A and B are shown apart, each in its own frame.
Chain A
Amino acid sequence: MQFTFFHLMPYRPLDMAERHKHRAAWVVLPNSLYDPKKGADEYQSYVDQLVYAEQLGFDVIAVNEHHQTAYGLMPAPNLIAGMLIARTTKAKIAIIGRALPLVNNPVNIAEEFAMLDNLSRGRIITGFVRGIGNEYHATGINPFFSHERYQEAHDLIVQAWTRPGPFSFEGEHYNVRYVNLWPRPYQTPHPPIWIPSQGSSETIKWAADPQRKYPFLVTFSARDLVARYLNMYREQARQFGYEASPDQIGWATPIYVADTDERARAEARAGVETLFNDFLATPFQMLLPPGYMSLPSMKNTMRMRKALGARKRLTADELIESGTVVVGSPRTVRDELSRLRDATGAGKLIAMLQFGVLPDELTRRNMEMFASEVMPHLKN
């Protein structure tokens, strides 16, 4: 397997009592709750953790983009990627991803990735996403056109990377008279593109298309859903007439390892519960604005939510039982991960080893134990 150390960079000093006076830790959470001195310390810790992951033998270190939220402090993840290029030598650096529909000129995304690719001499992996629904509230971009803008921005960026410039791009949302990237990407034909997703069937079909064969990553889902979506991707590839390689399949999950199951659960509890209940939890109308999903998908989602009833606080035990997070002794974690790997043929694991309010010291121990006790057993 290929191992990625992934960071969200949450704002851990958040006053949770204040947080719950607001709808979400997103968009409407007053930024007076952000203390720049504490925030600067957070950035330092998190960048150090990403750099340390290379020393521990992770193949890839990864960041992503979120806006106006304590959930993740990277509205501009390429800035972090720039630092990581300077402080590492061999790890791939993944930005998974940039939210394409949120920008009004996707050429900027193509340019920045091309710069990073040159600066790193080809160590960059890109990710193309649409952003969480909250981001359409934060930016004002119309979620009704999210899918259209994503497709068009994707086409524009890939053409900018691969077609000799200058050329014109003529779209519905994006019209650019001169597309002519200086610099061009370092990698040929262009940096890898990964597709993190919650598993919509439209995305699976699009990513698995033989023209693209983009690696598909299911994020933050219960193990049954991870298996279902990854196998949907494999099945889709077969329908296209080929067998998906392990490199095309992966999943992202919070993981915590300690010497015993009991200790792991005790140490991970606060981090896991704050991640899902305080940082991520968002009302429906923010998380899934109209048009963010297709109408049939949204109708199904609404019915499922109605059947589930009122939302309540998730416990770490529940999240562990459902396999949404993987927490335990090295043996427990190895078994859980290898079972899902074997059930799906996945060759990529995106490990989130810092999550929620998990402090630096526990994060470091978690990273070290994962690298020494879990990773070697799962490497091919």
Chain B
Amino acid sequence: MPAAVSSHKVRDVTVRMMRQGSGPPLLYLHGANGLPPWLPMLETLSRQFEVIVPEHPGFGLSDNPPWIRNVGDLAMYYLDFIEALSPHPVNLVGLSLGGWVAAEVAVRNCTRLATLSLLAPAGLRVKGVPMGDNFIWDGEESVRNLYHDQSLADRLLAQAQSMTDDDADLALTNRFAAAKFGWEPRWFNPGLERWLHRISVRTLIVWGDDDKLFPAAYAARWGERIPGSRVEIIPDCGHGIALEKPDAAAKEIMRLIAGMR
């Protein structure tokens, strides 16, 4: 069942937001393709948690304030967002760009976080292990290269055929925002790796073994840099973990939150 979509204002910025479930708060930060539909992974998590999925400023129909110019600005926005959200510590989950933002939040301030789950996060660069170039891929390549299972890609490509002009406009808005945050340096912050030791909450790193955007070798680097973190590699899985392996991803996130490292 799809979650209710509402608007939510923090400081001067109003964003779209999906919210469902009750229990401890779980904040999910989406990737560079924008606010996803209510995914099965989110549905599963919402049975135990209050799942909150904002659309990042600059994406889709959310505000695009001129002061949010890079991922650092976005992280500062989410620090405000988390403080305004709940007096309880928040379980922070992020995929890809959202994982990068989550890590930037955590290196700045972990006091309002309960746990941190990073699903194939952007944010680091491992020299000698090139990333894929999602900005040069065409529409079909972009879908195919996000998933291991090409029949899933086929279905998504078939759905894309019936895209309305409004959908296409939103996708373009998302692409602009993705470029703003990720074009240069390409999907990483040179300083972040030096600061990851500051993350003091239980942290999980999940990666698909067949990630064509950020190769699975990146997972080990994240694991080395975040003290006490756990790395899980999901077999037969591409970059779009939340869509391709929702059960495995949800299971690992729930294990982390339940207190198992």
Contacts and interface: CB of A to CB of B under 8 A. Distances in A.
B176 A144 contact: yes
Interface in A284-308: 284-286, 289-291, 295, 298-299, 302-303, 306
Contacts of A28: 136
Interface stretch (B35-43, B167-175, B222-230, B233-241): B167-175
Contact of A144 (B136, B168, B172, B183): B183
A285 B138 contact: yes
B180 interface: yes
B196 interface: no
Contacts of B137: 285
A141 interface: yes
Contacts of A72: none
A290 B184 CA distance: 13
Nearest to A23: B136
Given A141-B184, A299-B169, A299-B172, A283 B138 contact: yes
Q: Determine the interface band of chain B, counting residues with CB < 8 A from chain A.
A: 10 to 19
Q: Provide the main secondary structure of the chain A interface.
A: helix
B179 A291 contact: yes
B184 A295 contact: no
B172 A289 contact: no
A254 interface: no
B136 A290 contact: no
A141 B186 CA distance: 10
Among A28, A143, A285, the most chain B Cβ lie within 10 Å of the Cβ of A285
Given A285-B136, A286-B136, A291 B165 contact: no
Interface string A224-255: 00000000000000000000000000000000
Q: Provide the main secondary structure of the chain B interface.
A: helix
A290 B138 contact: no
Given A299-B169, A299-B172, A143 B179 contact: yes
Contact of B179 (A142, A286, A299): A142
B135 interface: yes
Q: Determine the interface band of chain A, counting residues with CB < 8 A from chain B.
A: 20 to 34
B51 interface: no
A56 B135 CA distance: 45
A219 B119 CA distance: 46
Interface in A122-178: 136-137, 140-145
A298 B180 contact: no
A298 B172 CA distance: 8
A290 B168 contact: no
A144 B135 contact: no
B169 A290 contact: no
B183 A142 contact: yes
Interface of B: 135-138, 165, 168-169, 172-173, 175-176, 178-180, 183-186
Sort A-B residue pairs by CB-CB distance and give the 7 closest, nearest first.
Answer: A290-B179, A142-B183, A144-B180, A142-B184, A290-B176, A290-B175, A144-B179
Interface of A: 23, 27-28, 136-137, 140-145, 283-286, 289-291, 295, 298-299, 302-303, 306
25 contacts: A23-B136, A27-B136, A28-B136, A136-B183, A137-B136, A142-B183, A142-B184, A143-B179, A144-B179, A144-B183, A284-B138, A285-B136, A285-B137, A286-B136, A289-B135, A290-B135, A290-B176, A290-B180, A290-B183, A291-B176, A291-B179, A298-B172, A302-B172, A303-B165, A303-B168
